[in-house]
Structure 1
Amino acid sequence: MFTPSLTAVPNAAPLLHPASSKRASLAQLLLTGILLGGVLSGCATQKAQPEDQATEPSLNDTATAGTTTAATQAESAAIEPKPKPASFSQGELLELLSAEFAGQRQQFERARDGYLAAAERTGNPQIAARAAQVSQYMGSYPQATQAARIWLAAEPDNPEVHWQLAQLYMSQRLFLNALEHLSVLQDLTGDSHYELLASTASLGAESDRKKLLDALSQRLVTTPNNPSLWTAAGILEQSLGNNTSALNHYNQALTLAPDSLPAAVFKARMLASGADKRAALTWVDQVLVQHPDHKGMEVLRARLLLNTDQTEAARQAFEDLHRSYPGDHTILLSLGLIEFELELNQDSYNHLLGLLETGAHQPQALYYLGQLSERLGKPDQALSYYAQVEDSREFMPAHLNAAALLAEQQGIQRAVDYLTALRQSHPDKHNELMVLEASLLTDYGHFQGALDRYTHLIDNNPNDAKVIYYRALVAERMNNLPLMEQDLERVIELQPDNADALNALGYTLVDRLHRIEDALPLLKRALVLRPNSPAIIDSLGWAYFKLGDYQQAEPLLQRAFNIVADHEIAAHYGELLWVTGAQQQARKVWRTGLREHADSAIIRATLQRLKVEMDAE
């Protein structure tokens, strides 16, 4: 079987370093007299066989991975054509030596140009292969392609050169060109690698994917029994959102080759990305019966267990994976996070601490170690972990938690000082950190300080709708309704479809400013944008109630309460029931709201205003 290397696939590191390759270099060949002997005697030069080559894609979590065995190397060597006789002038030999030594000194541009010039003059396949290798390592794909085509002219039936050109064309997103060489490769070796081509193309432009899919479909007409072609077409169909066609293509590949791992894996991934996670899990279990040691499928199974709320089974699956692959830090992170969710605090802490010591996934490990330390009653330790979190998606929540701890232990001013210092050390996050600061001040009732910070941010960026919205909420807490109305109107001007701003302004106009007719169009628009939002449904129902239109108010308030028994919704719905004569039902609704929020000021105020005694039946 021909075993290709994957040195030119995008995001794959070259396996053969031009300066330190295990392949015998031209300099070594020259110095040992092999090429020189060829010049003197006219005998052929024998190309050294690489010791390290990548195998066919293993399809664990990517489409490329693997290493060859001695047996597959021997098979590859056995099908390689005999090299052609070569003769060089003394000047050409010196030029080759110069290029090789330039590579040894990491003067790659000089090495590339030297080899390429020699390949063009001599047409020698070994020199052309070396020129392609060095060019490819440098990312000089046009030069690598030029060298590979010289190699192709010398050895048109060498599978290795067709594989090299296929990779190079994939790297340059010339997918139809790559397809031509993969087709020749199949004719020469019987091996198909169309899945790799489709996987690479699936990340490209839609127009390129469609063209390649058309080309593959044409080949399927003449070669309908090739499972690799069916799988590749499925990959492209899936990338275009045609999941039904993709599934049919994967199933056809599996009908032709029931043990086809690529088709099974891509089908599993597609099912896992869909809504029916249990069907995906069933299929993955079937795949693992045939391929019990497939790491990628084992990991996917563990994730599907988690997605189907089988959390304990998922924890056991990740624990087994960690035992089998102790060096896989992502598996260790997953295990620690599942244990965190299950509140297996000490187990989670131990695993995340072990992860921290490896240096992998540092932000996540530090953030969750901080939360675990809080759970375990160690606030100082938690603060230490949070403070170490650097640039990542965990940065903001970690430092907000740190500031909250400081506020709780040492007072709000200490927390503000912490965030201020953080802003100075992270100027690129100045605005985000000031928002955190203002949010914390709001939580502690320091409304003016929060308002001042939001105003500072708005002065520097008057179109920041998010910050304007936050200031509006603080203004409402300060009973500064004119500023609140102004800010919400500005948010709606910047973002006409901001349902939260529409609802906030509409509800304020109804409940605080008694301008119900102005509120109705805002609330109706918000409900169109978010038809299942209980807050918006309640606001509109409350507006109709305030207008005395109980017929329109009741179904809205009832629906909002049925979605979520929030205490504010309970206050509104209960009041409507009370004034319409359903007083026993009203008391039941209010009791439900009080169970959820025992100190609800709005329910207590409603009861007082209506002179309702909750103990009365």
Structure 2
Amino acid sequence: MAFTERACRPALLSLLLALGLSACATPQPAQQAASEVAEADTPEAPEVEPSYPSQSLSEDMLLRFLVGDIALQRGNTQLASQAWAELAQKSSDARVAKRATEVAIAAGQLNQALDACARWIDAAPQSPEARQIMVSLLIRANRLDDARPHLQALLSMQPKEVAPFLLQLHRLWDKQTDRKAALKLTQELAAGYDGLPEAHFALAVAYANADLKASSLTELDRVDVLRPAWEPSLLYRAQLLEDQPDAQRAFLEKAVRAAPKSAELQNALARSYAEAKRYPEAAAAYDKAQELAPGDLESLVGAGLIAIEQRQFDKANALLSAAVAKAPRQTRNLHYYLGVVAEEQQRWPDAVRWYEGAEGELKSMADRHLVRVYAKLGRVADAQALIAKMPVDSADARAEKAQTEAQLWREAKDYARAYSVLTDALKASPDTPELLYDRSLIADLMNDLGRAEADLRRYIELKPGNAMGLNALGYTLANRSTRLDEAQGYLEQAITLEPENPVIIDSLGWLRYRQGRLAEARELLQKAHAKLPDPEIAAHLAEVLWQLGRKDEARKVSTAAQQLDPRNDVLRETVQRLGMQP
């Protein structure tokens, strides 16, 4: 799990990170401004302006200066780096060494940068900037032992930075860093700061990164003694429980009681609920995070996505739109989800705008939805042009393109053409499960039970134990045939695999209706509808209520569903057939 970082980075660490060191991928605790430290009253050591040597500018040095600068202007960074490296060797001036270091870094010449930076430190040993750059270079070279004296010197020069630096020390390591070496360095840097919770926190992260979880937890226990209910420690302990979701959730529930003003902990608890599909509780936790930190980006986004799951589209639109307005560059992936919301609300122009603006890994999904929206708007040529641009560089890409084109013709109600597209794709890639599943749906729409059943049976052979495949076959048999006992066998297998899936609960409820077991059907369909107020589920529930004589309830359910999707074919057919219109 990722943690949102809201506080500003302390000065010492920020420059080191800016020099190209990426944060440790795992684990990464939330950033928190450190509180006062034992040496808070100790004055910071001011950076001493070096005493620059008196040195004549020879013709040779002048020539090298010119060569270095002209090479830089012309983009020849390697020549520039070499010229400045030679200047640094011939001069004891800290300014020359600094410039040589900067040019070598820009040129990607790590060894030259290390040599020049060492000369810079020799000329200006009290320069924090020189030490910071040296640390970044040594870590990049995986020379952590050599970095230690420079880090210790920095901490001596800036005692107020000790606590915040230790809190975020793990952010210096990248994916190539030797974890055992990082642990050793952390132990050396934390020595002498036993009374600082940040020191024990740094050790906890280092131990966990070195796969020493028990030692990590021991250090967190020490943190809890020194600073009870400290947010970074609570969040990190929860992260260490990510492979035990139930235990993690129980810990977070306890943690939010211990630290009730922590928006970060509320967000973490909300994520845990969301992963368990406990959406109402997740929504409540995100709402609490918003109360504690109005405008917090993570809770805005999280609550918005949960609202989509609960089909609360007005709420989702408001929350996700607020997130995009707050941080447009960070939320480009939300364009896809805002497109989904607009599509569900049948705001077709808005759906087009959001889907067309989607970027990154969700772009292909947005394009598939956009084809469907174009089809609903009658923009078939635009949909075909978009499909033509889709990649076909792999079997998966070709299958996805065929599925998208079939979706176009399905929306246009040209079922024969949709079936043909999928059939052609299956000739090129026989037994592709996704293509078989989609073709079975088209065959069902064509009232061709034989072909729908054949494709679904083959799908189940290819993906045995797949709940959705079992559900699709069971529902098709229940809806299109009198083989209800056979349908029951498939649906009972599916519900055993996914007992809380509203789609499967709906299928089982519809089977009970077809079996004449109306009371059971109503109970199941009400449960499914409460979990997922989908128009087709609503149509099934309304029909059962109607047959039970509860006609006012049936009209209420169907009317609400029509407001969500007045064009849904199953719902419209049900309302017209039964005469549910008031």
Question: TM-score, normalised to structure 1's length?
Answer: 0.58
User: 1:204 corresponds to which residue?
Assistant: 175
Structure 1 residues 160 and 255, CA gap change in structure 2 (3 angstroms): farther
Query: Structure 1 residues 480 and 169 mapped into 2: Cα distance closer, same or farther (>3 Å)?
Result: farther
Q: Which residue of 2 aligns with 1:435?
A: 403
Write the distance in 1 (CA, Å) between the matches of 2:300 and 2:497.
Answer: 41
- Cα drift, residue 470 of structure 1: 1.5
Distance in 1 separating the partners of 2:440 and 2:336? 34
- Matched with 1:9 is 17
1:343 paired with 2:295, answer: no
Q: For residue 343 of structure 1, what is the amino acid of its counterpart?
A: D
Number of residues paired by the alignment?
511
Match of 1:141 in 2: 110
Show CA shifts across 1:33-67 (max 9, x none): xxxxxxxxxxxxxxxxxxxxxxxxxx98699xxxx
Cα distance in 2 for partners of 1:366, 1:533 equals 24
- 1:542 Cα deviation (Å)? 11
Note the alpha carbon deviations across 1:511-559, whole angstroms, 9 max, x for none: 8789999999987876675465576689899999x9x9xxxx9xx9999
Specify whether residues 240 and 349 from structure 1 end up closer, same or farther in structure 2 by C-alpha distance, changes over 3 A only.
closer
> Is the 2:301–2:320 Cα contact (8 Å) retained in structure 1?
no
**Partners of 1:535 and 1:159 in 2: CA distance:** 62
- On the 8 A contact 2:316/2:341 being kept in 1, the answer is no
Contact 1:383 1:405 in 2 (8 A): yes
CA offsets, 1:494-521, max 9 Å, x none? 5455332244456667987899999999
Residue equivalent to 2:382: 418
Query: CA 1:248–1:419 in structure 2 vs 1: closer, same or farther (change >3 Å)?
Result: farther
Distance 2:558 2:145 in 1: 64
Residue aligned with 1:95, SS: helix
2:205 equivalent to 1:235: yes
Deviation at 1:92, TM superposition (A): 2.7
Query: Where do residues 159-308 of structure 1 align in structure 2 (5 Å cutoff)?
Result: 159-172=128-141, 174-175=143-144, 177-179=146-148, 181-187=150-156, 189-190=158-159, 191-192=161-162, 193-201=165-173, 204=175, 208-213=178-183, 216-217=186-187, 224-236=194-206, 249=219, 252-253=222-223, 256=226, 264-265=231-232, 267-268=234-235, 275=249, 307=282
* 2:284 paired with 1:309: yes
Query: 1:241–1:389: structure 2 CA closer, same or farther, 3 Å change rule?
Result: farther
RMSD (CA atoms): 6.4
Deviation of the 1:448 alpha carbon: 1.8
Gap change, CA 1:258 and 1:98, over 3 Å in 2: farther
C-alpha distance in 2 between matches for 1:524 and 1:347: 39
Residue 473 of structure 1 deviates from its aligned partner by: 2.6
**In structure 1, what is the equivalent of residue 36 of structure 2?**
none
Q: Secondary structure at the match of 1:204?
A: coil
Give a deviation string over 1:351-403, Cα, whole Å, max 9, x none.
Answer: 689679x788567469748956996x975x53662474243466567666666
**Are positions 1:478 and 2:450 aligned together?**
no
Query: Amino acid of the residue matched to residue 500 of structure 1?
Result: M
1:309 maps to amino acid: A
Quote the Cα distance in structure 2 between the aligned partners of 1:128 and 1:389. 47
Partner residue of 1:77? 47
What letter corresponds to residue 203 of structure 2 in structure 1?
A: A
Report 1:94-173 matches (<5 A).
Answer: 94-120=63-89, 125-152=94-121, 159-172=128-141
Aligned residues with identical type, % of pairs? 21
Deviations 1:314-370 (A, max 9, x none): 66667667xxxxxxx9999899999996837997799689679x7885674697489
CA distance in 2, matches of 1:215, 1:90: 46
- Which structure has the higher relative contact order (CA within 8 Å, separation 6+)? 2
1:28 maps to: none
The C-alpha deviation readout for 1:256-296, integer Å capped at 9, x for no partner, is 5799xxx74464576598536665656666579xxxxxxx9
TM-score (norm 2): 0.61
Structure 1 residues 61, 160: closer, same or farther in 2, change over 3 A? same
CA drift at 1:95: 1.0
Provide the residue aligned with 1:37 in structure 2. none
Gaps of 5+ in 1: 15-58, 64-71, 289-295, 322-328, 576-585, 606-617
Counterpart code for 2:386: L
Equivalent in 59, 65, 70 of residue 90 of structure 1: 59
1:419 maps to amino acid: A
Compared CA separation, residues 302 and 500, structure 1 to 2 (3 A): closer
Tell me the equivalent position of 1:324.
Answer: none
Q: Structure 1 residues 361, 179: CA separation in 2 closer, same or farther (over 3 Å shift)?
A: same
**Structure exhibiting the larger radius of gyration computed from Cα positions:** 1
1:458 and 2:417 are equivalent in the alignment: no
Task: Judge conservation of contact 1:502–1:526 (CA < 8 Å) in 2.
Answer: yes
Q: Distance in 1 between matches of 2:506 and 2:320?
A: 43
- 1:112-149 Cα distance to aligned partner (Å, 9 max, x none): 12112333455765433322222223444343234334
Secondary structure of residue in 1 paired with 2:195 = coil
**Aligned mates of 1:337, 1:513 — CA distance in 2:** 38
1:515–1:352 CA distance, 2 compared to 1 (3 A): closer
Letter of the 2:183 partner, please give it: L
2: distance between equivalents of 1:143 and 1:568? 69
Offset at 1:105? 5.0
Does the aligned pair in 2 maintain the 1:8–1:168 contact within 8 Å? Answer: no
- Residues 73 and 214 of structure 1: is their aligned pair in 2 closer, same or farther, counting only changes over 3 Å? closer
- Of 336, 352, 357 in structure 2, the residue corresponding to residue 389 of structure 1 is 357
The question of whether the paired residues in 1 share the 8 Å contact of 2:305 and 2:316 is answered with: no
Q: 3-state DSSP class of the match of 1:102?
A: helix
- Correspondence for 1:448 among 416, 423, 446: 416
Counterpart secondary structure, 2:314:
coil
Alpha-carbon contact 1:220-1:229 (below 8 Å) kept: yes
CA contact (8 A) 1:124 1:154 kept: yes
Deviation at residue 198 of structure 1 after TM alignment: 0.9
**Which amino acid is the alignment partner of residue 115 of structure 1?**
W
Q: Is the 8 A contact 1:333 1:355 kept in 2?
A: no
Question: Is the contact between residue 471 and residue 487 of structure 1 (CA under 8 Å) also seen in structure 2?
Answer: yes
* 2-structure distance, mates of 1:230, 1:178: 20
Conservation of the 8 A alpha-carbon contact between 1:404 and 1:415: no
- State yes or no: 1:498 paired with 2:506: no
Q: Give the secondary structure class of the aligned counterpart of 2:83.
A: helix
